[in-house]
Amino acid sequence: MNYFHPIFSIIVPVYNVEQYLPQCIDSILQQSFPYFELLLINDGSSDSSGIICDEYALKDKRIRVFHEQNGGVSIARNIGIENVKGQWIIFIDSDDWIDKETLNYVATNRKDADFIQFGFRKTNGTVLEYSNIPNEILELSSQDYCNSKVYHPAICGYAIKLDVIKKYNLKFPVGIKYGEDQVFILKALMCSSFVVVLNRHFYNYRMRYGSAMNSSLSFSMAKDHLLAIGDLLDFSITYHIKLNSLYISVITAFIKTYFGISIRGLRCIGEIKEIKKNYSRFLNCKDYCECLPAHFRIWNSYLFVVGYYFYVRMKLILKLEN
């Protein structure tokens, strides 16, 4: 076993984070478990982030740097996936950091898992919140995991076996800014047989103004959630994967968010027409309807009626105003 046959491949997309990047990289290089590679994907940074990446790569052969034009975090992560050499992939954001024993604990307790979860902390200098983790290590089937209530939607805090990612050609959806993590995680879960949930918090998520997790609701977010629904359903149809309770609950949450944001943030009649047009394709597509349970289709129809009510109401308001 040597550094050039790593157990873990750590993918870090980098974009204009010169202030935080050294802490992120140092936390990875200081791991007590040394058998990993670090892929730094410089996503067209305009500050000194790219230079920082190159300087670290000169000091440690486990680091590989990829300089790309700015394409967004999904494209950057996908470039990392295409170039990994390890058996497991872990994604870390470039303004976050991990504890020293992270890789050692994951490696020691990975068993025959396809998918591993560990805890994270949200912090802004002071710990604000801990993710939900069990008191003892859990070893679960994918189905039991989906019913366990420990799932979280952010990509931080997961290790995924490369074999699963390659077999199903898993990639982050391009063009979706809000919800891309959940789409990737759910696909990986649906393709996994055995899941290990660790009982310790290792990942430190930096809460800062302007980060995706802190972004306010917007019409753009609503449209992204609709794209995420389509991506998940297309994947389940392509690979003949039956939707489980977690899949259904996430899709339901996406739909609720889509309607909630869209209706609250309407600015013109054109946006209402776009809502109707985009959502109609789910109700009118036979493949989508067949892969969802009956009660879900009824609920979808109800949402469509509610949406139409707001459509009519808005037309009336505009007519009265004119």
What is the count of structural domains for the chain? Answer: 2
Q: Residues 135, 194: one domain?
A: yes
For the four alpha carbons of 215, 88, 33 and 199, in that order, the dihedral sign comes to positive
Q: Domain range holding 284?
A: 219-321
Query: Is residue 2 included in any domain, yes or no?
Result: no
Residue 74 shares a structural domain with residue 201: yes
* Residue 75 domain flag: yes
Q: What are the tens digits of pLDDT across the range 118-177?
A: 999 999 888 899 999 999 999 999 989 988 889 988 899 999 999 999 999 999 999 888
- DSSP letters, 249-316, are HHHHHHHHHHHHHHHHT--SHHHHHHHHHHHHHHHH-HHHHHHS-HHHHHHHHHHHHHHHHHHHHHHH
Mark whether 179 and 299 lie in a shared domain: no
Phi and psi for 222 in degrees, rounded to 5?
Answer: -60, -45
Percent composition of the chain: helix, strand, coil (DSSP 3-state, to 5): 50, 20, 35
Report pTM.
0.86
Give dist(CA 29, CA 52) in Å, integer: 14
DSSP letter for 154, please.
S
Query: Residue 1: pLDDT band by 50, 70, 90 thresholds?
Result: very low
> Domain ends where: 214, 229, 248?
214
CA separation for the pair 192, 36 (Å, rounded): 22
Q: What is the CATH number of the domain that holds 113?
A: 3.90.550.10
Q: Are residues 48 and 97 located together in one domain of the fold? A: yes
How far is it, in rounded angstroms, from Cα 295 to Cα 72? 37
| 255 shares its domain with 229 | yes
Do 174 and 130 share a structural domain?
Answer: yes
Domain boundary among 179, 214, 249: 214
Same domain, 153 and 223: no
* 291 within a domain of the structure (yes/no): yes
pLDDT band per the 50, 70, 90 thresholds, residue 270: low
